[in-house]
């Protein structure tokens, strides 16, 4: 098979994976909304599974689009720091961004 055809097959395969990841992402987000509509009680494991899937798919989708995992991590860190500096409501009311920043720090050690 000529090199150009192989490259075309790789691109088509990558596009197929991107489309699949997009579909999985939408399915997981939809499932979160459905679970929340029905109430959290008794669905925490399913909710955790959906949220973990959303994060996993986001990383994989980024990778398929040519974005290294570390670049995504760095941008998340920047957004966390910015939210803390700008005193975002989620930070001032609950301290969520500081807790997330600490979590990222711990997993890097």
- pTM assigned to the model: 0.85
Q: Which residue has the higher pLDDT, 108 or 55?
A: 55
Do 4 and 43 sit in the same domain of this protein?
yes
Q: Looking at the structure, do residues 61 and 95 belong to the same domain, yes or no?
A: no
Within 8 A by CB and 6+ apart from 83, the residues are 90, 91, 97
| Domain total in the chain | 2
Residue 4 shares a structural domain with residue 33: yes
Q: What is the pLDDT of residues 34-93, one digit of tens each?
A: 999 988 777 899 999 999 999 999 999 999 999 999 999 999 999 999 999 999 999 999
Average pLDDT over residues 15-35: 96
Same domain, 13 and 42: yes
Half-sphere exposure (Cβ direction) of 62: Cα atoms closer than 13 Å: 14
Task: Give 49-55's long-range contacts (Cβ < 8 A, gap of 24+).
Answer: 53/24, 53/28, 54/25, 54/28, 54/29
Q: Are residues 62 and 108 in the same domain?
A: no
- Are 79 and 63 within one domain? no
88 and 78 in a common domain: yes
Same domain, 49 and 74: no
CA distance 70 to 55: 14
Same domain, 24 and 45: yes
**Residue that is written with structure tokens 């991107």 in the block:** 18
Structural domain for 16, as ranges: 1-67
Q: Residue 1 pLDDT more than 50?
A: no
Read off the pLDDT of each residue in 16-36 and give the average, rounded to a whole number.
96
Please give the average per-residue pLDDT across 17-28, as a whole number. Answer: 97
């Amino acid at each position: 098979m000529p090199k150009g055809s192989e490259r075309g097959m790789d691109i088509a395969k990558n596009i197929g994976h991107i489309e699949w990841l997009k579909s999985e992402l939408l399915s997981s987000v939809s499932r979160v909304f459905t679970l929340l509509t029905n109430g959290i009680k008794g669905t925490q494991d399913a909710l955790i599974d959906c949220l973990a899937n959303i994060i996993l798919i986001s990383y994989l989708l980024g990778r398929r689009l040519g974005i290294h995992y570390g670049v995504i991590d760095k941008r998340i860190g920047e957004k966390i720091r910015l939210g803390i500096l700008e005193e975002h409501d989620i930070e001032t009311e609950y301290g969520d961004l500081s807790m997330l920043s600490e979590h990222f720090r711990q997993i890097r050690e």
